[in-house]
Structure 1
Amino acid sequence: MSKKTRQNSFLGTIILVSTFGGLLFGYDTGVINGALPFMSEDLGLNSFTEGLVASSLLLGAAIGAVFGGRLSDFNGRRKNILYLAVLFFIGTIGCTLAPNVMTMVIFRFLLGLAVGGSSVTVPTYLAEMSPVERRGRVVTQNELMIVVGQLLAFVFNAILGNTMGDTLHVWRYMLVIAAVPAIFLFVGMLRVPESPRWLISKGRKDGALSILLQIREENRAESEFNEIDAAIVKESETQKATFKEMAVPWVRRIVFLGIGIAIVQQITGVNSIMYYGTEILKDAGFQTEAALIANIANGFISVIAVCVGIWFLGRVRRRPMLVIGLIGTTTALLLIGIFSKVLEGSAALPYVVLSLTVLFLAFMQGAIAPVTWLMLAEIFPLRLRGFGMGISVFCLWITNFIIGLTFPVFLESIGLSTTFFVFTAMGILAIAFVKKYLPETKGRTLEELELYFRNYKAKNKEDALEAEFKSNIT
């Protein structure tokens, strides 16, 4: 085996091992979809406690995402992922053995801390280990592993629900499966190196160069080492943004845009389908066992759509891609609401709802999700990126938490049709927000975008004066 082949093989191992953090993210957020009907019966859950069990993970994820980046800066990317693997394992075992609702909520919250931490630490580690020409493709592999994790959760839910549905504790078997990838992640991370960029930032330059030589050709390793070193020196001289910056109008605008993009992704109601898909299909008319099998289609289309979305990202402008995605999801939600009324009690309704949830996820995972994360990374200038991303991702998870908590309550109190009409209204607001406020970022450098935001108010005044001048002439 040549040296270059060994380097590529080692880099491939690093990527595979670390993206198991994404797989766990997907499995732990998706497994509740099929486990909840059985868990509700076993633990005596009502609509509110169902929402609490499902959404407690999301509240933990919001906090984990905020502190995950800081902890990885302090401990190192590799060590932080090792700690997260342990937390994934403890949370999984705790949920599996939970004797009551309160215990379940506590351990789901701990799992959420791991999910949130991995959502920021794993992509950072991948970006810092990857060659620049492969960075985008490698980092998006983590997104792919998340939906693969959700698909696996749906598949195992269906298998266990149909073969062991009469067993009172079948939901515990569904949950405990996540312990296996958690062990794999821990053992695997013991065998891979720390991020060279983090080592250089801590002054451990010899170790950083040694690692680069294991995954790059010699000339390239030395060149990249010098580039990283120079970039870290430049960053250390750059003043970090704080909440005081919000007093500056253009900074305030860009942060609110980031929050808006994050909220837009969540108010589509995507996670009502990813977390409660089985409940939705049961409400439409499927039996539990059939709903578990049908729900696999939602996971399968998510994987296909993410692959298509990654391909589209390099070829289509961000803003129209996001608008088309939102129009598609909002139309699917509207049709679910309409057909749930028109076909109520019909044998065709569950199949119609399943088809529409698949259509919804095709637009969501193929357009909205990839554009959301890319635009969040693009709109913030370097000095504002950590601050802006932190606030935006926190708001994304909190919105996710609110929807996850309230969805089963809405489903019980106002019904399937009206619940989806509410999501339709929010989808229309999301389209209006994107069309009115969101700029195009494709083809613009970070410096050009910063200049755009700095001059936005002045540009609007000029446009208004020009319109008034033309009006007076006519």
Structure 2
Amino acid sequence: MPVRPLTISSIIFPEHFRFVNNHQKWTSTLIWSTLVVTFSTSFVMGVNIGGPNVYNAFIVPWTRGYPFPCQKDAGVAQWVAGVWWNCNYDNVSHMNKTGYYYLPEVPTNREPIQRLIDAMHTICFVLGGTIGGFTGQYWYIFLTRRNAIFVSMIFQVVASILMIITLEIYYGYTDGDPDLLTIVRTLRNKNVAVALLYISRLLSGWSAGMCCVVSTIYLTDISPRPMRGKIVTFHQLFIVIGLLVGQIVGLPWLLGRHKRVLILIIFLNEILPLNVFSTWNWGMSWIGLFSLAGCVLIWTLPESPRWLVQDHQRDAAARSLRTLRQNNLIEAELDEIERQEATAAMQDKSIYCMCFSPRFRWPLLTSITLNAVQQFSGINSVFFYSSTTFSEIGFVEDKVYWGILSTGIINLIATIGALKLVESFGRRSLILYPLVMIIFVMILLCVFIEMHKQNYRLAIVALSLTLVFIVLFAIGLGPIPYIYPNEVFTIDMRPAALSISMFASWLCNTLITLFFQTLRTVFQGFVFLFFCVFCSLALWLLWFKMPETKRKTLTEIEAFWQ
């Protein structure tokens, strides 16, 4: 009796074809490749998300045109200025000739638009991420995988250089109350410096958006199929590690302060004093060193075997696979890649085809929904604005920083746990059930944030609910939106699918960044009800239209939608 051909929807493989499962484990080359890529792209992205949150107290007055160390908003910013710059906010009448000790209040009718302007550096970051996510597929198509990753790292190196320049041309470090001449001289290059800040954040975002596409595809390409879910999850893990490191580096005991450091250097047998300032621009630019190192180390990694097959370099693909697998038993896996690519070459891979083909309708809609709800869950409102939120709900002085740090630590612990859960439980269950709980947590968060005004001690309950929300996010909505498109699309459509999904993610991130501060000004704690609504709509769609993809063939997955 003849064996029926193995059919994956419209893709038909030869009768003798079987998917290869060589039970590969970690090899030194695979470990090295994963670490280089995730440290130089994913980790950098995490630092760029977590760091600016703790520097907002410095960035906001600086962009408004008040760069002197004591010109800070009330709350934790004034505490930092008092401890590390000896600013005295109890008795400043004799030092207030030019407003040195005050950040002028914003009129009530202008507060929403001012909040939007204050968030512009974050808006530039997510706009860059939107561009990078959407264009990632083109870098992926026209360059090799390694070259595309290299370009994303170059963007971050340039961004770090621009970030260093900002406070070199516009700063206001001075003791006592500055005279009018000092203020005029300080503000001379303000517009140029602020523009460089925004360009730097745009490039950092562009690099981050690209890495969500090109880095994850490279990790998928070099991974043995049984390990792909786990290895791609390392992208999310290193984002989370970077986020925590960014928060730590931004603590006022490290780079999150104005601090004069006097260094003595010997030049031509003379001792010269050099003033070095530990400031927020260095705290946001040091991460470029990882990208710079990545620009060198990327060339020690093997090229993607799949890309080499696409480029008709079979011998080079075989060498790459041998290096990655560290054995010579690669012919079956190489044959599988060649068959998949041969079939993919006959397909229409355009975005138009993906958007309007009935076959890709539900894979695309569910992928977009997953990435949209990842942002509309409100996670980045925590990591972008938690310093402001914690101050408003009652945390003071250094307690704000410990609250911020707790979010990064719990996020890391939960993400490490997700590495095990993502292969132990189904993708569907890790999305749906935590999403139900997130909705209830958001409702409780609204209640306790509003109640803290009558009961100060309830602020700690609001923090606890925030940490529970982070755990629920990390085990499902954190890693799975990066994995899911790789499992529901054919190989040829994955670049376009990932680009569209990442574009949706960063676009929703942009909307959150644009409107969260303004909505919070108007609705206060009840702003989290907006996230509840979005999560509920996503839950309804995903409950009926998201299939289980763990260890499923594409035929079995597509049967769910038929």
Aligned partners of 1:225 and 1:29: how far apart in 2? Answer: 38
Tell me: CA distance 1:140–1:89, structure 2 relative to 1, closer, same or farther (3 Å): same
Which runs of structure 2 are paired with 1:433-448 in the superposition (5 Å)?
A: 433-442=541-550, 444-448=552-556
Indicate the residue corresponding to 1:52 in structure 2.
Answer: 120
Aligned partners of 1:228 and 1:271: how far apart in 2? Answer: 38
User: Deviations 1:419-452 (Å, cap 9, x if unpaired)?
Assistant: 1232233333333333344344445421122233
Q: Which moved more, 1:362-371 or 1:255-264?
A: 255-264
Tell me by how many angstroms 1:160 deviates: 4.4
Give the 3-state SS of the residue equivalent to 1:14 in structure 2. Answer: helix
Indicate the residue corresponding to 1:134 in structure 2.
Answer: 227
Q: Which moved more, 1:144-153 or 1:102-111?
A: 102-111
Indicate the residue corresponding to 1:92 in structure 2.
Answer: 160
Match of 2:129 among 33, 50, 61: 61
Tell me by how many angstroms 1:343 deviates: 1.8
User: Deviations 1:150-198 (Å, cap 9, x if unpaired)?
Assistant: 0101111125468735679722121022122112212211322322222
Aligned partners of 1:240 and 1:164: how far apart in 2? Answer: 50
Residue 206 in structure 1 maps to residue 225 in structure 2:
no
Aligned partners of 1:136 and 1:431: how far apart in 2? Answer: 23
Aligned partners of 2:317 and 2:489: how far apart in 1? Answer: 28
Indicate the residue corresponding to 1:286 in structure 2.
Answer: 395
Which runs of structure 2 are paired with 1:293-312 in the superposition (5 Å)?
A: 293-312=402-421
Contact 2:341 2:492 in 1 (8 A): no
Residue 79 in structure 1 maps to residue 172 in structure 2:
no
Tell me by how many angstroms 1:241 deviates: 4.5
Tell me: CA distance 1:275–1:200, structure 2 relative to 1, closer, same or farther (3 Å): same
Contact 1:60 1:112 in 2 (8 A): yes
User: Deviations 1:25-78 (Å, cap 9, x if unpaired)?
Assistant: 111122111111211122228311232211211111121112223212322111
Aligned partners of 2:550 and 2:334: how far apart in 1? Answer: 29
Contact 1:158 1:292 in 2 (8 A): yes
Which runs of structure 2 are paired with 1:53-202 in the superposition (5 Å)?
A: 53-98=121-166, 99=190, 100-160=193-253, 164=257, 170-202=279-311
Aligned partners of 1:208 and 1:376: how far apart in 2? Answer: 24
Contact 2:363 2:485 in 1 (8 A): no
Contact 1:284 1:340 in 2 (8 A): yes
Match of 1:37 among 48, 53, 57: 57
Indicate the residue corresponding to 1:428 in structure 2.
Answer: 536
User: Deviations 1:300-353 (Å, cap 9, x if unpaired)?
Assistant: 111111122222222323333322211222222222211122121643244222
Aligned partners of 2:321 and 2:545: how far apart in 1? Answer: 42
What is the letter of the counterpart of residue 450 of structure 1? E
Tell me by how many angstroms 1:129 deviates: 2.1
Indicate the residue corresponding to 1:3 in structure 2.
Answer: none
Which runs of structure 2 are paired with 1:392-471 in the superposition (5 Å)?
A: 392-415=501-524, 417-442=525-550, 444-453=552-561, 455=562
Give the 3-state SS of the residue equivalent to 1:239 in structure 2. Answer: coil
Aligned partners of 2:479 and 2:393: how far apart in 1? Answer: 30
Tell me: CA distance 1:170–1:335, structure 2 relative to 1, closer, same or farther (3 Å): farther
User: Deviations 1:68-126 (Å, cap 9, x if unpaired)?
Assistant: 23212322111222222221111122134335433322221111111111111112212
Give the 3-state SS of the residue equivalent to 1:31 in structure 2. Answer: helix
Indicate the residue corresponding to 2:107 in structure 1.
Answer: none
Match of 2:473 among 364, 378, 388: 364
Aligned partners of 1:13 and 1:245: how far apart in 2? Answer: 35
What is the letter of the counterpart of residue 64 of structure 2? G
What is the letter of the counterpart of residue 213 of structure 1? R
What is the letter of the counterpart of residue 163 of structure 2? C
Indicate the residue corresponding to 1:347 in structure 2.
Answer: 456
Which runs of structure 2 are paired with 1:18-33 in the superposition (5 Å)?
A: 18-20=37-39, 21-33=41-53
C-alpha root-mean-square deviation of aligned residues, in Å?
Answer: 2.5
Give the 3-state SS of the residue equivalent to 2:328 in structure 1. Answer: helix
Aligned-pair identity in percent equals 25
Indicate the residue corresponding to 2:33 in structure 1.
Answer: 14
Q: Which moved more, 1:365-374 or 1:299-308?
A: 365-374
Indicate the residue corresponding to 1:259 in structure 2.
Answer: 368
Aligned partners of 2:132 and 2:243: how far apart in 1? Answer: 20
Contact 2:256 2:280 in 1 (8 A): no
Aligned partners of 2:509 and 2:480: how far apart in 1? Answer: 18
Contact 1:25 1:115 in 2 (8 A): yes
TM-score, normalized by length of structure 2? Answer: 0.74
Tell me by how many angstroms 1:22 deviates: 0.8
Aligned partners of 2:509 and 2:250: how far apart in 1? Answer: 23
Aligned partners of 1:377 and 1:288: how far apart in 2? Answer: 45
User: Deviations 1:241-295 (Å, cap 9, x if unpaired)?
Assistant: 4425544545434433332222222211111111111111111122354312321
Aligned partners of 1:265 and 1:360: how far apart in 2? Answer: 12
Indicate the residue corresponding to 2:263 in structure 1.
Answer: none
Tell me: CA distance 1:379–1:405, structure 2 relative to 1, closer, same or farther (3 Å): same
Alignment length (residue pairs): 447
User: Deviations 1:119-158 (Å, cap 9, x if unpaired)?
Assistant: 1111221222233343332222121111000010111112
Larger radius of gyration: 2
What is the letter of the counterpart of residue 126 of structure 1? L
Aligned partners of 1:53 and 1:307: how far apart in 2? Answer: 30
Contact 2:129 2:206 in 1 (8 A): yes
Aligned partners of 1:227 and 1:152: how far apart in 2? Answer: 40
Tell me: CA distance 1:127–1:435, structure 2 relative to 1, closer, same or farther (3 Å): closer
Tell me by how many angstroms 1:206 deviates: 3.0
What is the letter of the counterpart of residue 527 of structure 2? T
Tell me by how many angstroms 1:376 deviates: 3.1
* Structure number having the greater helix percentage: 1
Tell me by how many angstroms 1:378 deviates: 2.8
